[in-house]
Amino acid sequence: MDGQSGICRGSLPKSVLLLTAALAAGCTAVGDHVPGAPEHHRQHGFANPSGAIGTDPLEFLYDRTRLAVAGAEDSSAPALSSQDAAEAWAESGASDAVQWLGHATVRLRLAGEVLLVDPVFADYVTPLPPFGPPRATPPPLLPADLTDIGAIIVSHDHYDHFEPASINAIAAGSGASCFLPLLIAEDEGLKCSLVELDWGDTAELGPVRASLQPAQHESGRGLFDRDQSLWGAWLIEGGGKRVYISGDGGYGPHLAALGEASGGLDLAILSVGGYEPRRYNQALHMNPEEAVRAFQDLRARRALIVNWGTYPLGTENVRESLEALRSAAAEAGLAPDALIFLAIGETILF
C-alpha cells in the first residue's frame, strides 16, 4: 500500500490472486470518514449512504469466478433488428422518448437533448474475455450508429456499465460530453469532455440538468480498487419532466428521500437483474419485490425495467424474475401499465 495515497499497488500474477484474496480486505478497505468532507467520503474511497457494504473480497472473488466458469441458462431478451431499432428511434422525432439498447444501456431524449446511459456493447463483460458473462442478445445498434448523443452518463465502473472504448467511439462520432461520478475516469483514457460529479452535483446539457444522486452499491474493476471510485444514480430534469436512472443499486431509504425531494417522477429506469444469490447481492441489487417498493418510494408514474436479458449476471431465472415483478406490482395495486418491459431496441414516448 502506498503510504501517502492509501491506494494499493502491485502486479501480482493472476495465478496467485486466489492465494492473496484474504489479504485484499486490508488493501481495499476505504478507511474512516474524512473530516470536513461529505459523509460518504472516506480516506481511501467512498461508502454507501446507509452504511451498507457489499461483498468482502473473498466473496467477491468467488462470485466473479462463478460468473467466469458457470454455465448460464438462456437468458436472452426479445430484440428488434438493427433496421427496426433505428427506424423506431427516428419515428419518435423530437418527442421525449426512451430506447432500451440492452442491459443498462438506454438512449433518452428529453427537452430536445439526447443522453446515453451506461453504453456497453461488448461480447463479454469481464477484464479477461472470454472468461466471464457472455452477451446473450446482440445489440441492435452499435456506437457508430449513435451520432445524436449530446452527453454520455455513467453510473459506476463495473464492466457491465462502463466501457471506455465504446464511450470514446460514441464521443468521436457525436461530440458528446461525459458525465461521470468522481474518479471513474482515472487512467481509463477517455477522450471526451469530462464532467466529474459528486452526489448532489449537477451538469447541464442545454435545458437539461443531470444530477448525480446517492445509490447503494459499490465500485471496482478488480480486487484491489474496491470502492475507490464513486457510484451513483441520476436524476435528469428538463422540459418540466423528471427521469430517474437507478444504475445498479440495492434498496434503501435514499429512494424515498429522493421521491419526497423531487415531488415525483415521470419515469424511473430501474435495474432489476443479478440479484441472486442474495447472500452476495442483497445490499447491491434490488429483487422484484424491492424494485416495486422503490417505484412507490420514488413516486414515479411509470418505470422501465432494465438490466435483464442481456448478460447473465445472477442465478435467477429471467422469465421467473419478470413474472415476479408483475406479481409484486399487482399485489401492490399498481396500474397494469406501471412497469414497462421493452424488447431490446424498442422505443417508447413518455
Residue 251 has pLDDT above 90, yes or no: yes
Residue 33 has pLDDT above 70, yes or no: yes
> CA 155 to CA 165: how far, in whole Å?
16
Residue 42 has pLDDT above 90, yes or no: yes
Least confident of 25-29, 126-130, 198-202: 25-29
Q: Pairing between strand 97-100 and 106-110? A: antiparallel
Compute CA distances 193 → 113, 173, 178, 214, 221, whole Å.
17, 13, 6, 23, 22
pLDDT score for 325: 98
- Over range 55-61, report the average pLDDT: 73
> CA 233 to CA 4: how far, in whole Å?
31
241 — pLDDT class (breaks 50, 70, 90): very high
Compute CA distances 15 → 1, 19, 55, whole Å.
20, 8, 22
Contact 150, 188 (CB under 8 A): no
- Over range 238-261, report the average pLDDT: 97
pTM over 0.75: yes
What is the DSSP secondary-structure string of 116-181? EES----SB-SSSTTSSPBPSS--SS-GGG-TT-SEEE-S--STTT--HHHHHHHHHHH--EEEEE
Per-residue pLDDT tens for 89-118?
999 999 999 999 999 999 999 999 999 999
Record the cell numbers describing residue 80, joined without a space. 428488434
Per-residue pLDDT tens for 314-332?
889 999 999 999 999 999 9
Residue 187 has pLDDT above 90, yes or no: no
> CA 243 to CA 216: how far, in whole Å?
18
71 — pLDDT class (breaks 50, 70, 90): low
Record the cell numbers describing residue 96, joined without a space. 421525449
Question: What is the CB neighbour count within 10 angstroms for residue 44?
Answer: 21
